[in-house]
């Protein structure tokens, strides 16, 4: 064998279907093993073969979400997987979305709409209706698409949660899906994790496990192959392939701010030294309850823009642009901002005419005050002083505002999406402010509730050019650089290429139940 290709010997294993449903559940040995990426890669691979494929995740816990064309809200990862499938994203692809508001309480979005909130102790009674809705959504998708590729959550071997599970083996059993398990070899211990995953499952669950996929491999494959052969012998299931570590491939993720595939800076440079060169240094504040952090991905993808995620006031002070991103807990995260000295750092920047951008919850923090009369975020009705940098007041409303607005800024068309409870309105002190999308700009301080706006290439580059001028930085946009949507498409195709090159696609097609 050459490169990082490892395919099982088909004669040694039975890899056929469990039942009649044409589909697959992609489970993982751990969270962040690569389930979302593998699912996206399989969806794009099948779509390129002319198969009508849809993604699915029964239950997703994430504060990174997206608004579909019909106004429904789903997890951002499933939205991207729909893009990979070349189909229109819809609520049935992620029927249950949990948005953590605290360590013990989550807001529930059911079939794209707000359903209520559940405390940790309420899951036993609350799961039944969620599970039934998820199963019905899967069956409905299956009736309209040739294949449904489902993504699991966490690990199927979390046997303490098995009784109420409807996203891993519970789903596989309910709709008769075969399962492949992805393991991240970059973490170490992947063979033990795969063997242990199988060993912890009961016989009925084990019967759905059809094979293994090793993810994020780098190095000499010949050193790994003996272990893969032993894993096959001891589990009686094939290793379906070894996907290499794909550098510069990232997709809109579920987890907050290890934003996509980048986690440090997106280009060379150190925050604060950009005035000496052409790098624009951006500091993104890492809120404890950050939400829709994917807004920053487009900034990080821009050549010459160095994005750092931080909770350090000194980094905030030195950066050319500071971004206060969205949050699921505006009031709590505003208090945290102040307690860490970050609030004072933001105020000092604004006083010095240095750029600050607030998006959604971050925009609300820039207001003069925030009012929560209906206890949407608070345990009691209260009014809290904001940072007072924009001439607005914010009032939290019980009804969530969802939408797909469009607009213009500096001659650039902007498309975005809305997900918020807080409504900002202008105060009398706003005579010197100018409109910015649906929000305001006052001096060097900018704010909007629009998520996703920076994915529009012309708008993003115009905004960053103006910010660079405010910051005294010589950064200029590269008009020849790929656009953000084009980069996403390229990455999805690279994932599909990896599936075709490094996985046993013949065995996968047999497991899924398609004839290619």
By annotation, the residues acting in catalysis are: 360, 451
| Contact in structure between 382 and 347 (CB atoms under 8 Å) | no
Cα 46 to Cα 19, 24, 40, 250, 492, distances in angstroms: 20, 12, 10, 20, 12
Closest CA to 306 of 292, 321, 287: 321
Give the CB-side neighbour count of residue 502, counting CA atoms within 13 A: 26
Give residues with Cβ within 8 angstroms of 409, minimum separation 6.
436, 437, 459, 462, 463
Closest CA to 407 of 456, 479, 358: 456
Scanning the structure block, which residue is given the tokens 């966490």?
154
Scanning the structure block, which residue is given the tokens 């920076």?
454
Please give the backbone phi and psi of residue 201, each rounded to the nearest 5 degrees, phi first: -85, 150
| Contact in structure between 386 and 364 (CB atoms under 8 Å) | yes
Scanning the structure block, which residue is given the tokens 């309420």?
122
Please give the backbone phi and psi of residue 483, each rounded to the nearest 5 degrees, phi first: -75, 165
Q: Where are the alpha helices (DSSP H) in 163-256?
A: 169-175, 190-200, 203-206, 221-235
SS3 (DSSP) at 58: coil
Closest CA to 312 of 351, 284, 281, 290: 284
Integer Cα distance of 138 and 128 in angstroms: 16
Integer Cα distance of 310 and 222 in angstroms: 40
Q: State both tokens at 41.
A: 């890669």
**Helices 35-48, 484-502: inter-axial angle, 10-degree rounding:** 90
């Amino acid at each position: 064998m050459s490169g990082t290709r490892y395919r099982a010997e088909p004669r040694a294993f039975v890899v056929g279907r469990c039942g009649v449903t044409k589909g697959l559940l992609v489970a993982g040995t751990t969270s962040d093993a690569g389930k979302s990426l593998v699912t996206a890669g399989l969806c794009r691979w099948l779509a390129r073969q002319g198969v009508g494929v849809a993604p699915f995740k029964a239950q997703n816990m994430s504060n990174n979400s997206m608004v579909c064309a019909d106004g429904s809200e789903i997890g951002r990862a499933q939205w991207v997987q729909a893009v990979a499938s070349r189909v229109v994203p819809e609520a049935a692809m992620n029927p249950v979305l949990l948005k953590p508001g605290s360590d013990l309480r989550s807001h529930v979005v059911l079939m794209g709409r707000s359903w209520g909130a559940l405390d940790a102790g309420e899951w036993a009674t609350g799961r039944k209706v969620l599970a039934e809705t998820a199963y019905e959504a899967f069956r409905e998708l299956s009736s309209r698409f040739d294949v449904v590729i489902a993504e699991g959550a966490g690990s199927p071997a979390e046997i303490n949660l098995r009784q109420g599970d409807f996203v891993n083996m519970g789903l596989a059993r309910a709709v008769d899906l075969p399962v492949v398990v992805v393991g991240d070899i970059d973490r170490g211990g992947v063979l033990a994790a795969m063997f242990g995953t199988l060993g912890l499952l009961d016989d009925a669950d084990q019967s759905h496990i059809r094979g293994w996929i090793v993810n994020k491999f780098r190095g000499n494959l010949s050193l790994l192959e003996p272990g893969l052969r032993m894993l096959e012998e001891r589990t009686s299931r094939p290793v379906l392939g070894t996907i290499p570590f794909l550098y510069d491939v990232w997709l809109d993720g579920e987890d907050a701010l290890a934003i996509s595939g980048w986690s440090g800076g997106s280009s060379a440079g150190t925050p604060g030294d950009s005035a000496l060169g052409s790098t624009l240094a951006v500091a993104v504040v890492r809120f404890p309850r950050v939400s829709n952090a994917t807004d920053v991905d487009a900034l990080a993808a821009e050549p010459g823009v160095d994005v750092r995620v931080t909770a350090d006031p000194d980094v905030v002070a030195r950066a050319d642009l500071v971004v206060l991103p969205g949050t699921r807990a505006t009031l709590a995260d505003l208090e945290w901002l102040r307690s860490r000295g970050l609030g004072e750092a933001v105020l000092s920047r604004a006083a010095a005419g240095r750029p600050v951008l607030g998006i959604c919850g971050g925009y609300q923090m820039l207001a003069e005050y925030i009012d929560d009369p209906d206890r949407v975020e608070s345990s009691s009705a209260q009014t809290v002083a904001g940072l007072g940098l924009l001439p607005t007041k914010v009032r939290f409303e019980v009804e969530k505002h969802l939408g797909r607005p469009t607009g213009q800024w500096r001659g650039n068309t902007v498309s975005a999406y809305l997900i918020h409870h807080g409504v900002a309105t202008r105060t009398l002190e706003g005579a010197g402010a100018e409109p910015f999308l649906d929000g305001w700009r006052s001096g060097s301080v900018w704010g909007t509730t629009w998520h996703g706006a920076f994915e529009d290439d012309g708008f993003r580059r115009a905004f960053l050019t103006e910010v660079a001028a405010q910051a005294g930085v010589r950064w200029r946009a590269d008009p020849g650089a790929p656009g953000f949507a084009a980069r996403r498409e390229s990455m999805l195709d690279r994932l599909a290429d990896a599936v075709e090159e490094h996985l046993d696609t013949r065995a996968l097609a047999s497991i899924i139940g398609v004839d290619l």
